[in-house]
Amino acid sequence: MATAETHYTLPLPSFDKPVKLLIVVAPYYKDITDQMVAGARATATACGAEVEVVEVPGALEVPTAIAMAERQAKFDGYVALGCVIRGETTHYDTVCNDSSRALSLLGLQGACIGNGILTVENRAQAEVRADAAGQNKGGGAAAAALHLIALSRKWAGSTKGIGFRA
C-alpha cells in the first residue's frame, strides 16, 4: 500500500531573485482543489514566491491557459491543479492522457511546470492526495515547479557552441 511507504523529498530551493508563480486550477471538484491550492500557496510562500491563481473550466483547459501565460505574461513557472475522478465512460482516459501530454509538451518547450492534476479512481483517493496536511499534492506540484525554475536559472545564459568555447 502506497501510504505505508516513505519517499525522499528534495529540500525546497532558495532564490536570490523574486519568483512569480501562476497556479492554474480547474475547480470542478472545488473542495478538493481548494485544498490543493492551499498546499501550493504554502509551498510557494515558503520559498518567498509571489503567487497568482486563475481558474479554468476543466483539466483540458489547464495546459491552454499555461501556454497563453507563457506567451503573453511574465511568470517564472506554473502549477497545474485539478482533479479527474474516473466515471462510467472513457472520457476519463481522454482527459487524463491529453492534459498530462499537453503539460509535458509545454515542459519540453522550456516552461517550468509542476503537474498537480490528480487522476484517481474515486473521491476518497482524491481527498487523501489533496489534503494539505496529508499527501499535499498541491504543495508537491508547486515544489516541482520551483525546482525547475531553480534549474532554469542555474543554466540561464549558458549556451553550447559548435565544438569550441570563445
Return all residues near 29 (Cβ < 8 A) that are at least 6 apart: 83, 85, 123, 126
DSSP classification of residue 122: S
For the segment 100-104, the average pLDDT, to the nearest whole number, is: 98
Spell out the domain ranges in the chain: 18-155
Give the least confident one: 32-36, 40-44, 100-104, 156-160: 156-160
Q: Please give the residue that has the higher pLDDT: either 162 or 51.
A: 51
Q: What percent of the chain has pLDDT over 70?
A: 92
Q: What SS3 class is residue 42?
A: helix
Query: If pLDDT is split at 50, 70 and 90, which confidence band does 66 have?
Result: very high
For the segment 114-124, the average pLDDT, to the nearest whole number, is: 97
For the segment 70-99, the average pLDDT, to the nearest whole number, is: 96
For the segment 123-146, the average pLDDT, to the nearest whole number, is: 97
Question: Is pTM, for the whole model, over 0.85?
Answer: yes
Residue 146 pLDDT > 90, yes or no? Answer: yes
Active site residues: 91
Return all residues near 83 (Cβ < 8 A) that are at least 6 apart: 26, 28, 29, 32, 33, 36, 59, 117, 118, 120, 126, 130
User: CA-to-CA distance for 92 and 6, rounded, in angstroms?
Assistant: 29
Average pLDDT of the chain is 94
Q: Which pLDDT score is estimated for 1?
A: 44
Superfamily name with CATH number, domain 18-155:
Lumazine/riboflavin synthase (3.40.50.960)
